Amino acid sequence: MREIPPAIRNSRFLEQIDVTSMLYCLAVLWPIIAFGAVRPFGVSAACLGMVALGLAVLLTKGVARNTMPPLLAAGVLLLVSEAWAVYQARPDWFLFVGANRPTISIQPSDSLYSVQVFSFPALAFVVGLLVLREDVKARFAMHFLMMAAAAIIMLAAAFFISDPGYILSFHKTAYFDSFTATLVNRNNAGTLIGAVVLLILRQFWSSCRSIRAFDLFQAVFFWKMEKRREVLKALFYGILLSGHIVALFLTKSRGAIFCTLLGFVVLVSFLFWMRQKRRYSGSAFVVRICFGATALFVLILTAFLLVGERVAMRTAIMGARDPRLCVMPGLLRTLKEYFWVGSGAGTFQMAFAPNREPECGLLYVWEKAHNTYLQNWIEFGVLAPCLTIILLGGLIMSFVWAIRTLARQRSYPALGLALVILMASNSAVDFPVEIPGISGFVAAILAMVTVICKAQFTTNATSERSSLPQHI
């Protein structure tokens, strides 16, 4: 029997493979396989599994002290959202509400059902903080999720290449010419692939820490490798990254491609700046930054040339008849009608129907506003923008603070910031946050980033205290 290598046997790697971590990763991955968990059974099963796992860990292990602040913040936001959604529906048994009083929600049953839809990403974040309480365990889980999601996407891509009319082994109902991974909508699929692209990019950058660009050049063109293991690892992640970029373009989603490019630029900028600042100073640092900025500009220009022709053609064909632009006056009228208290969680379809413009066509049911911020405001009222500002502001400020404060592992908060930018920008033109499979996956990654940042901050603070002179 082959002996386990000492590098693995002596490390903490094997200690991180526990049952709860694997169950958590499977609970995050299953909604992606189940077509994003957009159906009632899928989202209900995902929420029940996440709640059961969270309660089991809470009762057996409790809460880690370093993750208590973000856990409390996420819990408060979740409880406020759920309480308002239930109050909008106001069933007969609700506290201080009589049986004959009218409800705020125009469809109370949809409001009660939608609670689990927007609760799943919050549950994924909270349970992630409970399960992954150490930075080593969080890094292992992140790598596992990245590789598993990449395998799912590549498998779906193989099915798409063999027969574009199928999602895995199921018949498609729309977007026959576009790659949708395991989802129905190509825009949401592009967002999921974009998130995986950012994960692989961070891993690829980390694998290139001990090698030079010239080493990769020699390995690719001359198969000459001085650091064989490091070079092969970097080549693997580089090929995986290239494959997912191709898959992203196969979705043909303009919003997902441009938002992924935005997150890509943010992540690369932070990673390049931090590495060059650590290695160089003075004029050498300025020269490196100028060179990197030029290379990044060329990359952005190339991306625009690749997708610009399609965007221009689609804009010229659709023009002002783009459905999202056509329905905007009706959306604004709906917002004005339900500005303060909302129409009820999950009731956008019914609230918007009377205000829909006839000239925009009446063939299809407009189920989503294709703008999460506007739709949430219509459904939840003025509470929605307040909670959104608190959530996005808190995430961005915490990740920026971690990038500036931490001495190590700063690529993880940079990844978290890029993911927040990807999701926030794409939510203005599509609805990825409203797909439990996507929002749960991203929330799980953000939970892992939070655990890593908190652990590193605790380590730094302990080191600083131990370095102070001790007086007896």
pLDDT in tens, the chain (472 residues): 344 444 444 445 445 568 899 999 999 999 999 999 988 899 999 999 999 999 999 999 888 888 899 999 999 999 999 999 998 987 655 555 555 567 889 999 899 999 999 999 999 999 999 999 888 899 999 999 999 999 999 999 999 988 888 887 778 888 888 899 999 899 999 999 999 999 999 999 888 877 766 566 566 555 666 666 777 888 899 899 999 999 998 898 888 998 999 999 999 988 888 877 777 776 776 777 777 777 777 777 776 666 555 555 555 555 445 677 788 889 999 999 999 999 999 999 999 988 888 877 666 778 899 999 999 999 999 999 999 999 999 999 999 999 988 878 889 999 999 999 999 999 999 999 999 999 999 999 999 999 999 877 665 555 544 444 433 3
Q: Quick check: is 468 in a domain?
A: no
Q: What are phi and psi of 166, to 5 degrees?
A: -125, 150
Q: What is the DSSP letter of 365?
A: -
Give the ranges where 34-107 is alpha helix by DSSP (H).
40-61, 68-89
- Is there a domain that residue 191 lies in? yes
Angle between the N-to-C axes of helices 411-426 and 186-207, in degrees from 0 to 180, rounded to the nearest 10: 170
Which residue matches tokens 């992540």? 267
Contact 253, 233 (CB under 8 A): no
Q: What is the residue whose two structure tokens read 């930054």?
A: 289
- CA dihedral of 104, 110, 114, 116, whole degrees rounded to 10: 110
Residue 459 amino acid letter:
T
Residue 307: strand pairing partners: none
Asked whether 120 and 438 are in contact (CB, 8 A), the reply is no
CB-side exposure of 433: number of CA atoms within 13 Å?
24
* Residue 12 resides in a domain: no
pLDDT value of position 95 = 52
> In this structure, what DSSP letter does residue 224 have?
-
> pTM of the entire structure?
0.90
Which structural domain range is residue 312 located in?
A: 17-455
Pick from 15, 3, 107: which is nearest to 349 by CA?
107
Q: 118-134, pLDDT tens digit by residue?
A: 999 999 999 999 999 88
| Contact call for residues 451 and 210 (beta carbons, < 8 A) | no
In sequence order, the β-bridge partners of residue 170 are 167
Please report the pLDDT score of residue 227 as a whole number. Answer: 65
Summarize the chain as % helix, strand, coil (round to 5): 75, 0, 25
pLDDT (0 to 100) of residue 222: 55
| Residues paired with residue 171 on neighbouring β-strands, in sequence order | 166
Distance, CA of 297 to CA of 317 (rounded, Å): 29
The pLDDT of residue 244: 94
Asked whether the beta carbons of 37 and 43 are under 8 A apart, the reply is yes
pLDDT for residue 390: 96
Is residue 215 domain-resident? yes
Does residue 424 sit within a domain? yes
Which tokens hold the place of 208? 């290139």
Number of separate domains in the chain: 1
CA dihedral 3, 4, 9, 12 (to 10 degrees): -160
> Which amino acid type is present at position 472?
I
Residue whose entry in the numeric block shows the structure tokens 């978290």: 416
Residues 6+ apart with CB under 8 A from 102: none
- Residue 314: per-residue pLDDT: 56
The amino acid at 83? A
Residues linked to residue 167 through DSSP beta bridges, in sequence order: 170
- 299: Cα separation from own chain's centroid: 23
Residue 69, SS3? helix
pLDDT attached to residue 191: 96
As a whole number of angstroms, the distance between CA 253 and CA 256 comes to 5
Q: Quick check: 360 and 327 in contact, CB under 8 A?
A: yes
Nearest-angstrom CA–CA distance, 435 and 32: 9
Q: Is residue 62 part of a domain?
A: yes
Confirm whether 395 is domain-assigned: yes
Tokens 């965007």 — which residue?
311
Q: Is residue 253 part of a domain?
A: yes
Cα→Cα distances 21→141, 237, 311, Å:
7, 24, 42
Specify the pLDDT at position 408.
81
Q: Three-state SS for 94?
A: coil
Distance in angstroms (rounded) separating the CA atoms of residues 466 and 468: 6
